[in-house]
Amino acid sequence: MSQMPVITAKKLNHTFGKGTLRKPVLSDIDLEIYPGEIVILTGPSGSGKTTLLSLMGGLRSVQEGSLKVLDQELCEASKKQLVQVRSRIGYIFQAHNLLECLTAQQNVGMSLRLHKDLSLVERINRSVAILHAVGLGHRINYYPDDLSGGQKQRVAIARALVSQPKMVLADEPTAALDSKSGRDVVEIMQQLAKEQGCTILLVTHDNRILDVADRIIHMEDGRLATNAA
């Protein structure tokens, strides 16, 4: 591809623990992900998928090797540089992590607070618009307690995408959902990402959603094996 990758990992290694407890978790990860790609990362539990995602998201420090995300080298990056990279990434986790005391609209609006150029009214308008886009126009002022699992996860998607991030990292976002809701949630992510030209890296065990990927990569024991999608 002619475009520059949004993620480039070179000989990325990661270990947990010290001394006799030292345990290699990622070994020699080489990977490039390009703008607008939807990449699915699969692999058995404990193979290192979440660790890799948390490194890419600037949520954990890089120990060894090179990891470039959105033009920023994360190995030995400063706190400020990490914060800046994080602000350009949307995160979706297995648990929706919504704040129970805030409505759907307020939960989504929260992630726009970092964007100082937007007024309160603009933040509200944008959150309402994206809640409509994920099919929750009729649930804008509902609290998480009054939403189904699938609806909560759609609020989490709206929250991740409302600031139009360059990249979305999603860690088993459908794990807690029935197959129909899981499928809906992934298709919404796919559609919004295409509209916004956003790159998605999605960890999943869910075989029913593999077809949304442009490319599938497989992880085993901290190593990547790639096969063409």
Only segment of 2-10, 30-38, 49-57, 102-110 that touches ligand ADP (CB under 6 A): 49-57
DSSP letters for 116-162: TTS-HHHHHHHHHHHHHHTT-GGGTT--GGGS-HHHHHHHHHHHHHT
- Among positions 160-189, residues that touch ligand ADP (CB under 6 A) are none
Q: Counting beta carbons within 10 angstroms of the beta carbon of residue 59, is it exposed (0 to 12), middle (13 to 18) or buried (19 or more)?
A: middle
Encoded one letter per residue, x for contact with ligand ADP by CB under 6 A and - for no contact, window 26-45 reads -----------------x-x
**Minimum distance from CB of 53 to Mg ion (Å)?**
8
| Nearer to ligand ADP (CB atom), residue 89 or residue 224 | 224
Establish if 199 lies at the interface with Mg ion (CB under 5 A): no
**Minimum distance from CB of 46 to ligand ADP (Å)?**
4
Only segment of 42-50, 54-62, 80-88, 138-146 that touches Mg ion (CB under 5 A): 42-50
**Minimum distance from CB of 16 to ligand ADP (Å)?**
3
CA 77 to chain centre: 20
| Nearer to ligand ADP (CB atom), residue 24 or residue 35 | 24
Q: What angle do the packed helices 179-196 and 120-133 form, to 10 degrees?
A: 130
Total residues binding ligand ADP (CB under 6 A): 11
Asked whether 114 and 92 are in contact (CB, 8 A), the reply is no
Report the partner that residue 137 touches, choosing among ligand ADP, Mg ion, none (CB closer than 5 to 8 A by kind). none
Only segment of 2-10, 47-55, 143-151, 152-160 that touches ligand ADP (CB under 6 A): 47-55
Query: Which of 42, 50, 153, 174 is in the footprint of Mg ion by CB under 5 A?
Result: 50
- The closest of 65, 25, 70, 69 to 49, measured between CA atoms, is 25
- The closest of 104, 100, 228, 115 to 165, measured between CA atoms, is 115
Query: Which of 4, 11, 46, 125 is in the footprint of ligand ADP by CB under 6 A?
Result: 46
Establish if 48 lies at the interface with ligand ADP (CB under 6 A): yes
| Nearer to Mg ion (CB atom), residue 7 or residue 130 | 7
Q: DSSP H helical segments within the chain, as ranges?
A: 49-56, 79-86, 104-110, 120-133, 149-161, 179-196
Asked whether 32 and 5 are in contact (CB, 8 A), the reply is yes
Three-state SS for 111?
A: coil
For residues 146 and 155, give the distance between their C-alpha atoms in angstroms, rounded to a whole number. 12
Query: Which of 51, 111, 153, 174 is in the footprint of ligand ADP by CB under 6 A?
Result: 51
| Residues at the site binding ligand ADP, with contacts judged by CB under 6 A | 16-17, 25, 43, 45-51
